Amino acid sequence: MKHPAKESLGKIFSAGTSYYGGLVQSHAPSAFDLRHSLSSYNKASKCVIPCKARSMMQFSCGSSSADQEIVIAMGSNVGDRVSTFNRALQMMKSSGVNITRHACMYETAPAYVTDQPRFLNSAVRGTTRLGPHELLKKLREIDKDIGRTGGISYGPRPMDLDILLYGNSQIDSGTLIVPHERIHERPFVLAPLVDLLGTSSDDGIEKSWHSLSKCNGGFFELWNKLGGESIIGTEGIKRVLPVGNCLLDWCERTLVMGILNVTPDSFSDGGKFQQVEAAISQAKLLISQGADIIDIGAQSTRPFAKRLSQNEELERLIPVLDEVTKIPEIEGKLLSVDTFYAEVATEAVKRGVHMINDVSAELGVPYVVMHMRGDPSTMQSDENLQYDDIHIDIASELSAKVREAELSGIPLWRIVLDPGIGFSKKSGDNLKVIAGLKSIRREMGKTSIGASHVPILLGPSRKSFLREICDSANPADLDAATVLPVTIGILNGANIVRLHNAGYCADAAKFCDALHKRRRWEK
């Protein structure tokens, strides 16, 4: 007689085999990808001709007559660097800068003057009607208001804002050089700058920016010359997610998120953990199994689930949340709340939650953007299950959500992507998504390389497509079967895996991380 777990794993493996090619390839755009993208730019525009230096008379002091696309670099290594970044964003917005896109956040080793704390670096893209010198004056005022004094050149500073690009202009005056003269030698500047570009050839201003780089391959080639993606994750430069009081390098290892449902109607474990004592016991069990994050949900999102009011959700959530924050085992772990109500999210963050899973609000915590069409009552309708190319369609719809989040004030460095396994997808679609995360990243990179780098959260645990494949009516019997889609997902670029039973997949995550590290050493 076959062991049920082995039989389930065999069925999952068979179902996923056709999607299994190239599992341990890097998910990030490679040096070749970026060179190819620049080649596409050149072909699309016939020839990229560097813009002539413009006379500074039109920009001497007043505002520009039209919106100018700009890129501003940000750096800080004094005080609460993350809070300083947030403050600088708000001050730029109130000073005439309309921020439309953010780069990822990087923690970097100091350059030039090395005996000082590590920096946080990023950049923003936006528009302004301020002239370049007027913009420079505003940025210097922000630096000063935040606390920057003269100090030594390249020394410590609470905030340093620099104009990297201003329209398609070349500027060389006594006080301002654009493009910034040291871009080519600074990975902490080039990494965020490249994040703000796309790999397609549709953006006219980006073509001009590449031509201004004074390099045939544009900023992509400059970045690749410094090492490109191969240097990310080294001591010199790490891509980070600010969570609570820490900066999380999500590529260092896969994070395990344990699910704690305090609902009567969740598809897998509804009713089991509604009582506070049972919920606390489950939280402790998940942590002992290897969970790094406890994700508490007080409202079911299964198909056709009844929607609670925010007050009903809070009545379920708060008693459990308050007790979970008190247990000794939660020390060093992260707390997440799964909700689509801004009011519930706000209350949860006030009580110590570090992360919000799918809500539209800026609370200074990571925000999980999940792919779903419609709502739980309509997501599995025939209309919402139609895809032309599922990877392209999901990438496009996630990109639109990321764009909306950024325009509402949520910076890219706080965003996590969830492709929504089981939401608006047929069984076969879920398999394609799990094995095609690299394709989704690549498609997102066409409009925003930064968006293609953010963490991906994957949640296949006990989902209905596993029940169909394994012919199992009991969701709790699918924990072993969950291991394979989790493994395939991690090898394709998932950074966080969301599970009902953390123990089954914690070791699989460690194994995948070891494979990733081995590949990196071999390079």
- Total domains, the chain: 2
Per-residue pLDDT at 308: 84
Is 51 inside any structural domain?
A: no
CATH code for position 76: 3.30.70.560
Alpha helices in 364-522 (DSSP H): 390-407, 427-435, 437-444, 464-470, 479-491, 502-522
From 498, 517, 518, 523, active-site residue: 498
Per-residue pLDDT at 265: 55
Least trusted range by pLDDT, from 44-53, 150-159, 172-181, 506-515: 44-53
Could you tell me if 291 and 223 lie in one domain?
A: no
* Whether the predicted pLDDT of 328 surpasses 60: yes
Is 226 inside any structural domain?
A: yes
Residue with tokens 């703000």: 196
Is 393 inside any structural domain?
A: yes
Is 83 inside any structural domain?
A: yes
Is 54 inside any structural domain?
A: no
Q: Which long-range contacts (CB under 8 A, 24 or more apart) does 142-149 make?
A: 142/88, 142/91, 142/92, 142/95, 145/91, 146/84, 146/87, 146/88, 146/91, 147/78, 147/79
- For 173-232, strand residue ranges (E) read 177-178
Could you tell me if 267 and 136 lie in one domain?
A: no
Could you tell me if 104 and 147 lie in one domain?
A: yes
CA 238-244-248 angle, 5° bins: 20
Per-residue pLDDT at 401: 94
The whole-model pTM stands at 0.88
Per-residue pLDDT at 222: 96
Over residues 329-347, mean pLDDT? 92
CATH code for position 405: 3.20.20.20
Q: Tell me if residue 414 is catalytic.
A: no
Is residue 344 packed enough to be buried (19+ CB in 10 Å), middle (13-18) or exposed (0-12)? buried
Over residues 482-488, mean pLDDT? 96
Over residues 446-475, mean pLDDT? 93
* Whether the predicted pLDDT of 359 surpasses 50: no
* Whether the predicted pLDDT of 64 surpasses 90: no
Could you tell me if 138 and 184 lie in one domain?
A: yes
Cα(497)–Cα(416) distance, integer angstroms: 12
Could you tell me if 146 and 171 lie in one domain?
A: yes
Could you report the per-residue pLDDT of 270-310, keeping only the tens digit for each? 556 778 999 999 999 999 999 999 999 988 776 666 778 89
**Of 238, 264, 287, which marks where a domain is finished?**
238
Cα(286)–Cα(293) distance, integer angstroms: 9
**Of 179, 203, 238, which marks where a domain is finished?**
238
Could you tell me if 216 and 286 lie in one domain?
A: no
- If one compares 315 and 48, the residue with the highest pLDDT of the two is 315
Per-residue pLDDT at 81: 96
Could you tell me if 414 and 517 lie in one domain?
A: yes
Reported confidence tier of residue 21, pLDDT bands at 50, 70, 90: very low
CA 373-490-381 angle, 5° bins: 15
**Of 183, 207, 238, which marks where a domain is finished?**
238
Is 379 inside any structural domain?
A: yes
Instruction: List the one residue out of 470, 448, 457 whose CA is nearest residue 417.
Output: 457
Residue 37 tokens, joined: 């993208």
Could you report the per-residue pLDDT of 363-384, keeping only the tens digit for each? 789 999 999 998 888 898 999 9
3-state SS track over 478-504: HHHHHHHHHHHHHHCCCCEEEECCHHH
Let me know: does 397 contact 445? Beta carbons within 8 Å: no
Q: Tell me if residue 463 is catalytic.
A: yes
Instruction: List the one residue out of 138, 143, 73, 142 whose CA is nearest residue 108.
Output: 73
Could you report the per-residue pLDDT of 197-249, keeping only the tens digit for each? 999 878 899 999 999 998 999 999 999 999 999 999 999 999 999 998 899 99
* Whether the predicted pLDDT of 439 surpasses 50: yes
Per-residue pLDDT at 54: 40
Could you tell me if 281 and 378 lie in one domain?
A: yes
- As a whole number, the mean pLDDT across the chain is 87
From 441, 442, 463, 467, active-site residue: 463
Reported confidence tier of residue 340, pLDDT bands at 50, 70, 90: confident
Instruction: List the one residue out of 297, 413, 418, 293 whose CA is nearest residue 362.
Output: 413
Could you tell me if 89 and 209 lie in one domain?
A: yes
Residue 28 tokens, joined: 């990030």
State which residues form the domain around 154.
Answer: 68-238
Could you tell me if 333 and 468 lie in one domain?
A: yes
Is 27 inside any structural domain?
A: no
Distances (CA, A) of 260 to 77, 318, 335, 426, 476: 37, 13, 11, 25, 14
- If one compares 45 and 512, the residue with the highest pLDDT of the two is 512
Is 308 inside any structural domain?
A: yes
Per-residue pLDDT at 362: 62
Could you report the per-residue pLDDT of 168-208, keeping only the tens digit for each? 999 999 899 999 888 999 999 999 999 999 998 788 999 99
Paired residues of 272 in beta bridges: none
Per-residue pLDDT at 364: 83
* Whether the predicted pLDDT of 361 surpasses 60: no
Cα(363)–Cα(353) distance, integer angstroms: 11
Could you tell me if 467 and 327 lie in one domain?
A: yes
Q: What is the CA radius of gyration of the chain?
A: 24
Could you tell me if 304 and 208 lie in one domain?
A: no
